[in-house]
């Protein structure tokens, strides 16, 4: 879904068709969707699709979307994750809280009501306390082709179940000693209906309710009832929850809930060259394979934001892939296309020399006098409203080492940069000619002496002067020294966790290259976190929020100017 009117021009997806029909026939007065992340990790690209869908539906149809934290397992949850999730949702363009599309809700706020509903099921003979061990419970559950068998505790009386559940509530049992299960059908073809667990014992303080509870509801028990409490009309899940829908509906039908929301499933986002399992992402963090959840190589929203992806690009990507019922794998190149397209349109231009080579323009003062000559360049070639920037042009400048060669045999077609004895144009400045190489004591090139051609700033050179091409540069005396981090895909295998592979063996050893001593144009002293720039001929970059200091700015490469992976597969 998109947050602007662009999505209104495309055909409705199947969920939008359902909502349109429900509104037209009066089945609902206003739609309420929900986005229910568990705060046990950071949100990733798959969540971005769900955010865009659920919040986008609310925006499109004038409804609301509830951000509800599924905080039913305190053993894995943390306030850090809650804060990060809220930050990510708002960065994606969907403000929560006062004045936003959503308020913030917690499943834990419903623990008292859920407990009462558990008692209701027990009193109606539809739930029981089971003392099978986890191993025994798996054995009794059966398989996909064989029915399960009844627990020996299934026929306990209502009074006995109430007493046992109270003991669970009071902490009289150890973790794992018993659970509360719904009494449905151990022979059901859908294994989720074979007396599923409703409550487990967890003797751990909760980040919202402190030590009030030592039993916690399962997601399946809290899910539908939370939807009902909040008046959710369309509870939208990914396809793996389709087999859970009969349980969702059974619970709503057998409890005195205030409403009966409907569940619909869509295909989750599967992206190649990517791992989105929270367990695996956490392993990458815990084992310091990446530096944090927001490492720019991570598929987390925080990582993509730090890398320089824009929210607009993520929303466009989610709109491009659409919403269907058919599971498929999306090429990572489509996401990169959306990012590259957005930055090409919106990122201001700048010049940065990654591996500097000094040029000394020996006749500079003859033409411009002492000091710098200030030249102007547009901030964007196609967007005059972004203005222009002033760049100091000096007697000594830096170009990239790869932009100079002494090999005069190279043809113009093969090497369109600076060759000893030939001409090249400096971007936005003069045409120059490489005259002589200066070497250090070890014989390495220390500098190149050049001469400039008069009156060639913004003008064609005189007849007979044929520049090979145009190269970028920065003033050697008026520039910014910075660190450059060249990020690439974290995995070099299109399916890193498929077919029993060890995904850690699929890591790309070239996913990060750190370059020290790069030189950037002086305007980048004003660079801000969150603003993307196109470093001419190098790619798109953004200021790093973690490692940048007042003394040393650090720029992350968001993405290259071209797709360099297209020829690798």
- What residues form the annotated binding site for L-glutamine? 70, 219
Residues 6+ apart with CB under 8 A from 352: 472, 474, 482, 484, 518, 519, 520, 521, 524, 535, 538, 541, 555
Mark whether 60 is an active-site residue.
no
Residues 6+ apart with CB under 8 A from 272: 329, 330, 331, 332, 494, 495
Strand order from edge to edge, sheet including 445-452: 470-471, 423-426, 431-439, 445-452, 356-361, 396-400, 474-475
| Closest-CA residue to 378 (of 348, 398, 352, 343) | 348
Residue ranges at the known binding site: 38-40, 44-50, 70, 219, 238, 268-269
Positive or negative, the Cα torsion across 119, 124, 130, 136? negative
Task: Name the nearest CA neighbour of 64 among 54, 73, 76.
Answer: 54
Of these residues, 278, 416, 427, 537, which one is catalytic?
278
Cα dihedral 268/269/274/277 (nearest 10): -30
| Helix/strand/coil for 358 | strand
State how beta strands 234-238 and 262-266 pair. Answer: parallel
Q: Quick check: is 340 catalytic?
A: no
Q: In whole angstroms, what is the distance from residue 360 CA to residue 470 CA?
A: 18
Does 38 participate in catalysis according to the annotation? Answer: yes
Structure tokens given for 396: 């000594």
Task: Write the burial class of residue 9 (CB in 10 Å: 0-12 exposed, 13-18 middle, 19+ buried).
Answer: exposed
Q: How many CB atoms lie within 10 A of CB 454?
A: 14
365 Cα distance to chain centroid: 51
Residues 437/406, Cβ–Cβ less than 8 Å:
yes
Neighbours of 474 (CB within 10 A): 26
Residue 129: partners with Cβ closer than 8 Å, 6 or more residues away: 153, 156, 160, 161, 164, 165, 168, 178, 179, 180, 181
CA neighbor of 526 nearest in space, from 477, 475, 480: 480
Which of 200, 268, 416, 537 does the annotation list as catalytic? 268
Instruction: Report whether 295 contacts 288 (CB < 8 A).
Output: no
Is the CB of residue 560 less than 8 Å from the CB of residue 539? Answer: yes
DSSP, collapsed to helix, strand or coil, labels residue 169 as helix
Report residue 11 as tokens. 């055909």
CA-nearest of 542, 9, 41 to 296 is 542
Query: Annotated binding residues for ATP, as ranges?
Result: 38-40, 44-50, 238, 268-269
Which of 555, 494, 502 is CA-nearest to residue 524? 555
CA angle 189, 191, 195 (to 5 degrees): 110
What residues act catalytically?
A: 38, 268, 278
């Amino acid at each position: 879904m998109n947050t602007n009117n662009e999505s209104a021009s495309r055909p409705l997806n199947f969920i939008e068709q359902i909502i349109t029909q429900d509104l037209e026939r009066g089945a609902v007065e206003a739609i309420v969707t929900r986005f229910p992340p568990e705060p046990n990790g950071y949100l990733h690209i798959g969540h971005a699709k769900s955010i865009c869908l659920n919040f986008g539906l609310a925006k499109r149809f004038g409804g609301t979307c509830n951000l509800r934290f599924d905080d039913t397992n305190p053993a894995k949850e943390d306030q850090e994750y809650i804060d990060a999730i809220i930050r990510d949702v708002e960065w994606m363009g969907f403000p929560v809280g006062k004045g936003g599309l959503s308020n913030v809700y917690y499943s834990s706020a419903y623990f008292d009501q859920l407990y009462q509903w558990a008692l209701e099921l027990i009193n109606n003979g539809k739930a029981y306390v089971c003392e099978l061990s986890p191993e025994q419970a798996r054995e009794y559950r059966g398989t996909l082709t064989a029915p399960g068998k009844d627990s020996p505790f299934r026929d306990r009386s209502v009074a006995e179940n109430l007493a046992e559940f109270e003991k669970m509530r009071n902490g009289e049992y150890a973790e794992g000693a018993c659970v509360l299960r719904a009494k449905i059908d151990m022979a059901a073809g859908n294994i989720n209906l074979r007396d599923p667990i409703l409550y487990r014992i967890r003797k751990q303080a909760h980040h919202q309710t402190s030590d009030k509870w030592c039993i916690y509801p399962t997601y399946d028990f809290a899910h539908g009832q939370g939807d009902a409490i909040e008046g959710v009309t369309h509870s939208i899940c990914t396809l793996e929850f389709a087999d859970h829908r009969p349980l969702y509906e059974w619970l709503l039908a057998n409890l005195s809930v205030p409403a009966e929301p409907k569940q619909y499933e869509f295909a989750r986002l599967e992206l190649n060259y990517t791992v989105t399992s929270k367990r695996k992402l956490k392993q990458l963090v815990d084992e310091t394979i990446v530096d944090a959840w927001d490492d720019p190589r991570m598929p987390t929203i925080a990582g993509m934001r730090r890398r320089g992806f824009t929210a607009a690009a993520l929303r466009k990507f989610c709109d491009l892939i659409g919403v269907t019922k058919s599971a498929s794998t999306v090429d990572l190149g489509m996401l990169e296309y959306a990012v590259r397209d957005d930055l090409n349109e919106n990122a201001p231009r700048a010049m940065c020399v990654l591996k500097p080579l000094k040029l000394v323009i020996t006749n500079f003062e003859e033409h411009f006098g002492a000091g710098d000559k200030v030249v102007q360049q547009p901030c964007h070639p196609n967007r005059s409203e972004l203005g222009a920037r002033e760049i100091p042009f000096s007697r000594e400048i830096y170009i990239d080492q790869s932009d100079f060669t002494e090999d005069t045999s190279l043809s113009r077609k093969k090497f369109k940069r600076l060759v000893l004895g030939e001409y090249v144009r400096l971007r936005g400045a003069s045409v120059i000619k490489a005259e002589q190489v200066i070497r250090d004591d070890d014989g390495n090139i220390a500098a190149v002496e050049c001469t400039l051609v008069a009156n060639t700033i913004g003008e064609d050179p005189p007849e007979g002067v044929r520049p090979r091409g145009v190269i970028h540069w920065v003033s050697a005396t008026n520039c910014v020294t910075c660190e450059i981090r060249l990020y690439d895909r974290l995995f070099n295998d299109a399916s890193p966790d498929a077919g029993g592979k060890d995904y850690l063996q699929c890591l790309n050893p070239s996913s990060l290259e750190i370059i020290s001593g790069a030189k950037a144009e002086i305007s980048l002293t004003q660079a801000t976190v969150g603003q993307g720039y196109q470093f001419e001929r190098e790619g798109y970059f953004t200021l790093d929020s973690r490692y940048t200091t007042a003394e040393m700015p650090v720029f992350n490469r968001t993405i290259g100017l071209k797709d360099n992976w297209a020829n690798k597969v």
